[in-house]
Structure 1
Amino acid sequence: INNQVGFTTDYDDARTSIYCTDLAKIVDAPVLHVNGDDAEAVTFCCKLAVEYRQKFGKDIFIDMLCYRRHGHNESDEPKFTQPKLYNIIAKHPNPREIFSKKLVERGDVDAELASEMDKKFRNQLQDRLNEVKQNKLPYKVQKIEEEWHKLRKSKPEDFDSSPSTSIEQSVIDKVGKALTTLPAGFKAIKQIEKLMKDRKASFFENKELSWADAELLAYGSLLIENRFVRMSGQDVKRGTFSHRHAYVMDVNANENYCNLDHIQKDQRKFQIFNSLLSEFGVLGFEYGYALASPNALVLWEAQFGDFVNGAQVMIDQFIASAESKWQRMNGLVMLLPHGYEGQGPEHSSAKPERFLQLAAEYNMVVANPTTPANIFHLLRRQVTWEFRKPCIVFSPKSLLRHPSVVSPINEFTKGGFKEVIDDPTSPKSVKRLIMCTGKIYYDLVEARQKKKIKDIAIVRVEQLYPFPEKQLNAIIKKYKGAQLVWAQEEPSNMGYQSFIIRMMPEQKIEFISRKASASPATGYAKVHKVEQEKIINQALEVKA
């Protein structure tokens, strides 16, 4: 619908092309230009476009040249910016008047009938308006909404502990076998052959799963439960860091194979797509897809978490606020690779501070899991809850292959997601309690071991929002009298510091971070190393 004016912008300022439909040239789609005042011509174009679409299954554009009777809203004065145009419009008959006159002049109807039809229609509209004002029409649930109406709204106590999301050992074996089996005659590259060998050892010999193993196990377990699992993003089939390999290629036939599609006969297929380089467009599409059914696990993964800023409009307008504004739940998962590893300001930060600033009214989950078992349970929890929440995950990069980042099989066959993970070494006489989230935990543990420190406990906050206040307070109480520290890799004006102050206003906490900065990270690897070592050393320094 071409109104010629965009708010107050004239068409010759809005574009360089002749027609607004010239973008159709990108896909060689036909265009029908039609005068919006000509009702019969508009009808003809619409019918032609539908027939074309049905017959050829291709796009077709209609450029219906119209005008706005008022400004960009009824109270706006368009003559401020387009006085000449709106002097003409003010005197111009509307489409109904033009069509009625045409029919009368052509002898198709008489003027009295046209006037009577107009009067009857206006009366009908007024009657309906009066009826609705007096008696509210009952809302009829649409078919697409039926599944959503079986759910309920969340309550604060829902976040005190997570539900069980474990699976049977037989399911692990079944999915593990599928993930480590290729068809007869399938020739993969050497790296994939090694991957299959290592993955088989993880599932059936070592009984310890890596991040990629756990993630794929979560998807596979849902597929055989007849759940719909869909994932998109840049490089997702392989994974930005070549860890996932949901699809593998035959080097001879150049054909692909998805292991998760071959777990058992009566299963769902794994829907995974490498997307174009548009965070805004793809995230918006997946948000809409997640609205279609609460029984679908829909994921979008950024190539690097830093690139999510290209989709900030979708986050602000829909993901963070839709339930508050429109009472619309959504279970979309966003995987945002995050972590300071010396890769520079464009490849270090998913801007967690932005999501945490938006976190309120239990509107979404913000998590930074550090174990394969926890990402497994988090993904399954998304479709286990009796409600739905968008889930923002600051996913790892170097941890994908870190030797310590493995989980024993028994952590998948019992329990659920852990919002907070206490220090597994159970240190005695703790003088300093370091709270942290994400990759920095492993840096702190490694340094603590090297320094042979025995009186410092390190606790991981795996779920930042809804904030696990009860779980964290229970651990703080356990280490009574210990100095409380929050350590983060991010600059003090970024990351989690402001959020922790908001969530724990009564606690006396020492904050350790990089200095406040306009840029998320340094571009020099040597400077990064010095900064990181300084943070770790400060965190492990017990003050008298």
Structure 2
Amino acid sequence: MDRFSFLNAVHPSFIAELYDKYLQFPDSVEPSWRSFFQGFDFALEHGSLEELGIEAEHVPEQVLKEFQVIKLIDGYRSRGHLFTRTNPVRERRKYSPSLEIENFGLTQADLTTTFKAGEVLGMGEATLQQILDHLQKIYRESIGIEYMYIRKPEEIQWIQNKLNINENHPNFTVEQKKHLLKKLNEAVSFETFLHTKYVGQKRFSLEGGESLIPALDILIESAANKGVQEFVMGMAHRGRLSTLTNIFGKDAKDIFSEFDGKDYEQAIFDGDVKYHLGWTSRRETASGKEINLNIAPNPSHLETVGSVVQGIARAKQDRLYKDEIKAVLPIVVHGDAAIAGQGLVYEVVQMAQLDGYRTGGTIHVVVNNQIGFTTNYLDARSSTYCTDVGKVTLSPVLHVNADDVEAVVHAMQFALDFRMEFGRDVFIDLLGYRKYGHNEGDEPRFTQPKLYKAIAKHKNPRDIYAERLIAEGVIDQAYVRSLEEEYKKKLEVDLEDSRKEDKTVITGIMQEAWDGFHYAREDKMNAPVDTTVSMELLTEVATTITQLPEDKKFLRKIVRLVDGRRKMFFEDNQLDWAMAELLAYGTLMKQGYDVRMSGQDVERGTFSHRHAVIKVEDSEEEILLLNKLEDAGDFYIYNSLLSEYGVVGFDYGYAMASPKTLTIWEAQFGDFSNGAQIMIDQYISAAEDKWKTQNGLVMLLPHGYEGQGAEHSSARMERYLQLCATDNMFVANCTTPANMYHMLRRQMVVDYRKPLIVFTPKSLLRHPRVLSTKEEFANGTFHRLIDDETADAKKVKTLVFVSGKFYYDLLEKQEELGRDDVALVRIEQLFPLPKTEIEATIAKYKGAKDVVWAQEEPQNMGAYGHLLMHFKPARSFRVCSRRFYAAPASGSSVRSKSRHQEVIESVFNPE
């Protein structure tokens, strides 16, 4: 008797369901069945049951066929997206093997045979033809879906159930269809209007992807009904103006004013081009729900805004929706070339499920033009799809024909439902085209003559849909004409109104979060700020952060560390850098502010100084002593993924949405921030000037020459200082714990926000002379310049200005030489430069004929060039620095020490 003859007694539907489960999740199937299916697959692929030891006559033909039909169903689920009708303007690439039934061991004769396998599709027993028809409608028409790589059975099952409903086809009412046509008309007519009124001007037209507008419209309406209260959107250039007007409600006349190039009412802002500006509005949905809409400003480095959007969303969730983070929905609209080509997208995708960066799922929409400026998609990526980065986090991906507006809207509703159900990302690849060149003034036929010949003959999505609705008897041609004429008439009125006004206005986004804050010019930035606290408050914080829970076991080194902190505050009155940080955070929290810090290894600190998170030895439970403060704000601190660009963008977005949170990003080493250079150039240094958006992000950049080589010495302060202008940010290089403490507190207690760049120490974290008293913390203030308190001005012949850690190297040498004719003056704030204090210091030491600027960096780096640019002293500086070098520091510790000593010697010996 054949050992597999038991198959005769097993119901085919049971085998079909079990085999279907095996194909999706092999490990979930009982081992003996899994072994059988593995062998059976091998036998089927090689055409021989005998090799498996199965006598064919003992296996009913119907059972064999059931297996083959299940294989067919699995083929459609796994590869059906490759064979869809999703490209509106050209043939898709050919893939093999195809989904023809012969490739699954079936024949045309089987089409009328009934199979139990239909039950795995939720359709019960069905003929092969019915099963095929069902699969074709789900997987091979206007929507292709990739999801079979997902590893969670409940998500797979949810998706398959969703697809089986209406066979993945929408079923809209007459009124809904008319509404879709209305939004399509707005999208098409708006672009046509701009094309005729502003000939040749850049507008990054949405033409070819207009179905994005009704899709976003339905998304907002549906999301509001599911409890979403805020949208945060990052938008590509293409389609931005239409989205602002037709979705976010920005007055078209304001856009026309921007096209006319009018100056801004706010003279202190430079403003930006119209397709970079952000916007916030409130919208009432058809069901009467209020929803807040935010579209973040973005530079031409398009994908940069994706990380900012995530940070904005997380800030809103932490501040307003802690118990229901899904109430804030991030949406990022990408271009196809950008999502495939920009590494930031991968960084943001990798954040999606991390504790410090999760936002409850993002809907990613790609407006796929099939071309990047002049570059064909075959030259733009190696992957099959531009959206393949989404598979990193096993996110479902839907590919949709942009000409089929009902399919597009259906896909958007699917994406929303998945996000709300599972709190995970979804990607929609909206496959359309770009009607004109990259910027309307460009000639695309130079590089894609065949494609643009096809596009020139292609109808727009509104006309395609209107014809469909006319054929269905839903509307007539007169209805379409009236829609077009009515909307065009409104735009004409807006255009006329816009030309009656001389100037236009920049409106900042999220103004409700910034109520009570004001913009600050340089004079306000230079004004003294009261950062004192009572000794009682300082003591309360110190008590809390120097007491470990008694019922938990900690490493002996941790116990010693916390005991040492208690001793330094309550006995020695000598507080180090780590205590300065923690006391600054704690006192701010007691005053109602939150604190968020992220970056690589920030919980402990790269140099093991912070230990803001303490681990219980046997369980690795995390203890945040700052969060044990009573009646205080929240302390959030997260070790980040190994990313600078994405994480800085995230934390910048967080600070943009939460001005009452001290938001800090710390680099592992200062020069690692150059991985985030686009964020620094486009947002941190320029956003207030361009977009009227304040931001208080703090960047902590470890800096100092300790012989660790080119990549671990310099935070490249010259780059930040070169970006400084008038009133755009603070830059500091502190030398005492108390000054660091007061600077961090100043960042929050003022009624404005500016980015703060801090060049933080490494060796000074445990330097025996880098200590401050608690009285300096409680009663002191931030000193932009620290004079040499030991110097006798009458004796001083050499006046040395220095910044940061190098001061202590010079101090050691001065004491070694016994030079009381040298004064060492520290410039703690490099921007805005304390010019008044510098001038007063020079005047004080009037006997000093030798005025020195000393720095450990090469002369072409560091702060020297900045000093020359921003300060014109009566007496010129003698510069003491390393010579001009291409690399910031030598890789040889011997050579590094030699160069360092040479600079120190030159300070005390001009010869």
Q: Say which of 764, 785, 794 aligns to 1:420.
A: 785
Partner amino acid, structure 2, of 1:497: Y
Q: Which residue of 1 aligns with 2:426?
A: 60
Paired with 2:484 and 2:390, the residues of 1 have a C-alpha distance of 38
Q: CA RMSD in A?
A: 1.8
Once the two structures are superposed, what CA deviation does each residue of 1:179-207 show, in whole Å capped at 9, x if it has no partner? 11111222111211111111001110111
1:98 to 464, 484, 506: 464
Q: Equivalent residues in 2 for 1:499-538 (5 A)?
A: 499-506=866-873, 507-538=875-906
Cα distance per residue 1:192-227 (max 9 Å; x no partner): 111111100111011121000011100000111110
Q: Is 1:435 aligned to 2:826, yes or no?
A: no
Evaluate the alpha carbon distance shift between residue 356 and residue 73 of structure 1 in structure 2; reply closer, same or farther with a 3 A threshold. Answer: same
Matched with 1:383 is 748
Deviations 1:234-270 (A, max 9, x none): 0000000000000000011220100000121x21220
Q: 1:213 aligns with which of 542, 566, 579?
A: 579
Structure 1 unaligned residues grouped into runs of 5+ = none
Give 1:167's aligned residue.
533
Q: Percent identity?
A: 48
Post-superposition shift, 1:77? Answer: 1.1
Pick closer, same or farther for the CA change 1:105–1:372 going to 2, 3 Å: same
Structure 1 residues 260 and 329: alpha-carbon distance in aligned structure 2, compared to 1, 3 A threshold: same
Structure 2 contact 506–692 (Cα < 8 Å) conserved: no
- Residue in 2 that maps onto 1:194: 560
Flag the structure with more relative contact order, 1 or 2, with Cα contacts below 8 A and sequence separation at least 6.
1
User: Which aligned runs of 4 or more in structure 1 are off by greater than 6 angstroms?
Assistant: 135-143
In structure 2, the residue corresponding to 1:20 is in which secondary structure? coil
Distance 2:865 2:563 in 1: 45
Q: Rate the CA distance shift 1:44–1:74 in 2: closer, same or farther, 3 A.
A: same
Query: In the comparison of the two structures, how many residue pairs are matched?
Result: 542
SS across alignment from 2:865: helix
Aligned partner (choices 108, 111, 114) of residue 480 of structure 2: 114
8 Å CA contact 1:144–1:293 kept in 2: the answer is no
Task: Tell me which residue corresponds to 1:485.
Answer: 852
Task: Find the counterpart in structure 1 of residue 542 from structure 2.
Answer: 176
User: Per-residue displacement from partner, 1:75-134 (whole Å, max 9, x unpaired)?
Assistant: 111112111111111111100010011111222222222222222232233334434544
Task: Say which is worse superposed, 184-193 or 459-468, in terms of deviation.
Answer: 184-193
Q: What residue is the counterpart of 2:605 in the other structure?
A: 239
Q: Supply the distance in 1 between the matched residues of 2:503 and 2:514 (Cα, whole angstroms).
A: 21
**1:275 partner letter:** S
Output aligned runs, 1:7-18, within 5 Å. Answer: 7-18=373-384
How do residues 81-92 of structure 1 correspond to structure 2 at under 5 angstroms? 81-92=447-458
Cα distance in 2, alignment partners of residues 99 and 34 from structure 1: 15
Q: Is the 8 A contact 2:508 2:692 kept in 1?
A: no
Contact 2:599–2:639 (CA under 8 A) maintained in structure 1: yes
Q: State whether residues 432 and 542 of structure 1, in contact with CA within 8 Å, keep that contact through their aligned partners in structure 2.
A: no
1:13 to 1:373, Cα distance in 2 relative to 1, 3 A:
same
Task: Please point out which of 675, 684, 688 is paired with 1:323.
Answer: 688
Question: Displacement of 1:327 after TM fit?
Answer: 2.2
Give the counterpart letter for 1:114 in structure 2: V
Q: CA deviation at 1:311?
A: 0.6
CA distance in 1, matches of 2:878, 2:910: 11
Return closer, same or farther for 1:480/1:243 CA change in 2, 3 Å cut-off.
same
Shift of 1:149: 4.3
Q: Which has the higher helix share?
A: 2
Q: Can you list the C-alpha shifts for 1:148-190, whole angstroms capped at 9, x where unaligned?
A: 2422222333244431101111111111111111112221112
- The Cα offsets for residues 467-512 of structure 1, whole Å up to 9 and x where unpaired, read as 1000111111111030100110000100011111112334311101
Provide the secondary structure at the position in 1 that maps to 2:368.
Answer: coil
Q: Distance in 1 between matches of 2:508 and 2:444?
A: 39
Q: 1:122 to 1:10 in 2, by over 3 A?
A: same
Q: 1:48–1:510: structure 2 CA closer, same or farther, 3 Å change rule? A: same
Residue number among 445, 449, 458 corresponding to 1:79 in the alignment: 445
Partner Cα distance (1:510, 1:16) in 2 = 56
Alignment of 1:350-389 (within 5 A): 350-389=715-754
Q: 1:160 to 1:35 in 2, by over 3 A?
A: closer
- 1:210 and 1:4 map into 2 onto residues whose CA distance is 57
Helix, strand or coil: the match of 1:406?
coil
Q: Deviations over 1:345-381 (max 9, x none)?
A: 0100000111111111121111000000000000011
Per-residue deviation, residues 281-301 of structure 1 (Å, max 9, x unmatched): 000111111111322211100
Check whether the contact 2:513–2:657 (CA below 8 A) recurs between aligned residues.
Answer: no
Paired residue secondary structure (1:299): strand
Task: Please give the alpha-carbon distance, in whole angstroms, between the structure 2 residues aligned to 1:60 and 1:499.
Answer: 47
Alpha-carbon distance in 2 for matches of 1:135, 1:305? 48
Give the 3 Å change call, closer, same or farther, for CA 142–173 of structure 1 in structure 2: same
Is contact 1:159-1:468 (8 Å) kept? Answer: no
Task: Give the C-alpha shift of residue 142 in structure 1.
Answer: 8.6
Checking the alignment, whether the CA contact within 8 Å between 2:696 and 2:754 is kept in structure 1 is yes
Other-structure match for 2:815: 449
Partner of 2:399: 33
Shifted more, 100-109 versus 373-382: the winner is 100-109
- 1:415 positional shift: 3.1
Determine the structure 1 residue equivalent to 2:198.
Answer: none
CA distance in 1, matches of 2:840, 2:745: 26
Q: Distance in 2 between matches of 1:143 and 1:75?
A: 30
Q: CA deviation at 1:416?
A: 1.4
Alignment partners' CA distance in 1, 2:398 and 2:525: 54
Return closer, same or farther for 1:469/1:45 CA change in 2, 3 Å cut-off: same
* CA deviation map 1:395-439 (0-9, x unaligned): 000000000000011111223110000012133510101110011
Partners of 1:251 and 1:418 lie apart in 2 by: 41
Other structure's SS at 1:447 match: helix
> Which moved further from structure 2: 126-135 or 344-353?
126-135
2:537 partner amino acid: V
Which amino acid letter does the alignment assign opposite residue 228 of structure 1? D
Provide the secondary structure at the position in 2 that maps to 1:413. Answer: helix
Question: SS of 2:510's equivalent?
Answer: helix
Equivalent residues in 2 for 1:270-349 (5 A)? Answer: 270-349=635-714
TM-score (norm 1): 0.96
> Are 1:392 and 2:760 counterparts?
no
1:233–1:301 contact (8 Å) kept in structure 2: yes
**What secondary structure does 1:412 align onto?**
helix
Task: Please give the alpha-carbon distance, in whole angstroms, between the structure 2 residues aligned to 1:137 and 1:55.
Answer: 47
SS in 1 for 2:885: coil
Structure 1 contact 160–470 (Cα < 8 Å) conserved: no
Amino acid at match of 2:881: S
Which residue is 2:862 aligned to? Answer: 495
Q: Is the 8 A contact 2:509 2:693 kept in 1?
A: no
* Structure 2 portions without partners, runs of 5+: 1-366
SS class of match (2:814): helix
Matching residue of 2:589: 223
Question: Aligned partner of 2:852: which letter?
Answer: V
Is 1:475 matched up with 2:841?
A: yes
Match of 1:153 in 2: 519
Secondary structure of the corresponding residue to residue 281 of structure 1:
helix
